[in-house]
Amino acid sequence: MSQCLNPNCQFLNPSTTKFCQRCGNKLLLADRYRAIKYLGEGGFGRTFEAVDEHRFDTRCVIKQFLPQLQGSAALQKATELFKQEGMRLRDLGKHPQIPDLLAFFEQDNRFYLVQEFIDGQDLLKELQQRGKFSEQAVRKFLTELLPVLEFIHNQNVIHRDIKPDNIIRSSHNSLVLIDFGVSKQLTATVLTKMGTITGTPGYAAPEQMHGHVSPASDLYSLAVTCIRLLTGCLLEEKNGVWNDKLFDPMQMEWIWRRQNVSVSHELAKILDKMLLFPVGERYQSAAEVLKALNSPPVSPPQPKIQVPVPKIAVPQPPQPQSQSQSFTEDLGNGVKLDMIYIPAGTFMMGSPTSEKESRDSERPQHRVTIKALLIGKYPVTQAQWKVVANLRKVNRDLHPDPSYFKGANRPVECVSWYDAVEFCDRLSRFTGKTYRLPSESEWEYACRAGTTTPFYFGETITPDLANYDGNYTYGSGAKGKYRQETTSVGSFPPNKFGLYDLHGNVWEWCADHWHSNYQGAPNDETIWLSSNINYERLLRGGSWDDLPDDCRSAFRNRYVAGLSNDSFGFRVVCAAAWTL
């Protein structure tokens, strides 16, 4: 059969006819291409499967330029974009995983683009028919597709619409990237896209939805595609979390865990970095992602380097059980909150450059003097959370049972920074004392308890000392159990102040805004706030799902204050007794 290309007709004619039997429209394009099947419609027009009668009826694809635009200016812009797509495909079609451009011409006052036909199935259909992809399959997918992206980016082209529908697994089992209809030439003048699309919501990077693209934008969409293949769902399909102005990669991690998908920490870290916002924190090229994907997960242990440590006068911490200022808050219903007295003192905050896996964000090291304080012996537990969440609201509602990993004596998680602050506000009103989140300097001082090593128990860490991803090592530490969930508070040895779970189990919210390093940081316990009200807040301590180096005393993490994750919890601080 022959498909009539007249938009007002589209009658199916016998394949032997040269003109449409309904409207008389000429059926052959350029006297050789015959449309046989309507495939779909996009921003610029319609797409048809066709045959080339000059090449023994070889199958091909016809794109008919038929924009739904009003006004000569809009039509002119759209026409220019369609021509640009033809020129891009002329150059990009040299790659074996991009359809070749066979022809570009005008007939009957309409433009047509003819491409190579790829016999196969797109990955969305494959996902729907065969189910979720394994991690091994996604790694293979990345290994095959990243070189294609590297090729097009080296041609100064951004695809801008990476998604499973636009990736075909051919009959030869190779992946082919299709549909460059919204791609953008980096070196060209940006055109006003009147009536055209800039990508697919849910896949497009936040900056792309506001008109700014770079190679990193395609990497973002590729990461979302990977997670769609792993989980079978898009983020926007879960509880309306999607926000085109701000996307939080850890929400993707949240989804795949709840979809019972096993993803290694290594791949999760790579995908998270591909999704970071702002753009500068992402991988900037496909080559960088490939390098990370092919890197060994664990570096060989490095020889220890002895570095002189400045002598700092730190008071000998008293045993908490004999310290009169420590106390237990009775929350009711048999639930208690143990608060441990921490004496005043001075310490070096941050890490030296000699500390293995240390970051620039942990420097410059600086001397900080901390006033005495009282801090929770453990992270806030689910039992404590439930009691306080049922108290009268101060500013916002609290879910009484938000945690993914259930257990009254496990730390509460899946709570945002704002939730933690509301907990403190309700607890303060209930007790008549002032409870709050610790400042970052208070947290590190309490964690170190007079030590200068990466962890409060020494130079290294093992899964017998803390709850983290035991598949990975730090320094001379051994591998061990990866529990893949939180553990009851107090399951591991305390520090010299008598505090538990400061390394691993759950990240702990701090009161401060995020700053990229310690330039200009306070030299006391002051909560360090940003003048531009940065939306990110500090997290400390690492979690059950993190690498051992993330659990170091000096390691700094950040997250959007209004979002949560099943590895985020907190502990509370109260001023020392004589200041109450």
Summarised one tens digit per residue, pLDDT across range 461-477 is: 999 999 999 999 999 99
pLDDT attached to residue 219: 95
> Judging by DSSP bridges, how do beta strands 435-436 and 573-575 pair with one another?
antiparallel
Give span(s): CATH 1.10.510.10, the chain.
Answer: 120-294
Token pair of 263, please? 């993803």
Q: Is the pLDDT of residue 187 over 80?
A: no
Task: Give the tens place of pLDDT for each residue, 274-285.
Answer: 988 778 889 999
Topology adopted by domain 2-116? Phosphorylase Kinase; domain 1 (3.30.200)
pLDDT attached to residue 74: 59
- DSSP characters over 270-320: HHHHHT-SSGGGS--SHHHHHHHHHS-SSPPPPPP----------PPPPPG
Is 272 catalytic? The answer is no
Q: Which residues contact 221 (CB under 8 A, 6 or more apart)?
A: 159, 160, 161, 162, 163, 199, 203, 204, 205
d(CA 99, CA 92): 8
Give span(s): CATH 3.30.200.20, the chain.
Answer: 2-116
Nearest-10 Cα torsion for 217, 223, 226, 228: -80
CATH number belonging to domain 120-294: 1.10.510.10
Residue 425 DSSP SS3? helix
Task: Give the tens place of pLDDT for each residue, 402-437.
Answer: 999 999 999 999 999 999 999 999 999 999 999 999
Residue 330 dihedral angles phi and psi, to the nearest 5° = -90, 115
Token pair of 23, please? 């409207």
| Residue 242 region by backbone torsions, left for phi larger than 0, else alpha for psi between -120 and 50, else beta | beta
**What percent of the chain clears pLDDT 70, i.e. is strictly above it?**
82
Task: Give the tens place of pLDDT for each residue, 514-525.
Answer: 999 999 999 999
Residues for the chain: how many in total?
A: 580
DSSP 206: T
Task: Give the tens place of pLDDT for each residue, 13-63.
Answer: 888 888 998 998 888 999 999 999 988 776 567 889 999 999 889 999 998
Token pair of 312, please? 């700092």
pLDDT attached to residue 470: 94
Region 78-94: what's the mean pLDDT?
74
Query: Which one of 3.65.10.10, 3.40.50.1820, 3.40.50.300, 3.90.1580.10 gives the CATH number of domain 326-579?
Result: 3.90.1580.10
pLDDT attached to residue 173: 84
- Type of residue at 545: D
What pTM value is reported for the model? 0.50
Give span(s): CATH 3.90.1580.10, the chain.
Answer: 326-579
Maximum average pLDDT range among 2-11, 76-85, 320-329: 2-11
Q: Which of these is catalytic: 52, 57, 122, 161?
A: 161
pLDDT attached to residue 244: 33
d(CA 201, CA 323): 57
Handedness of CA 154, 159, 163, 168 (dihedral sign): negative
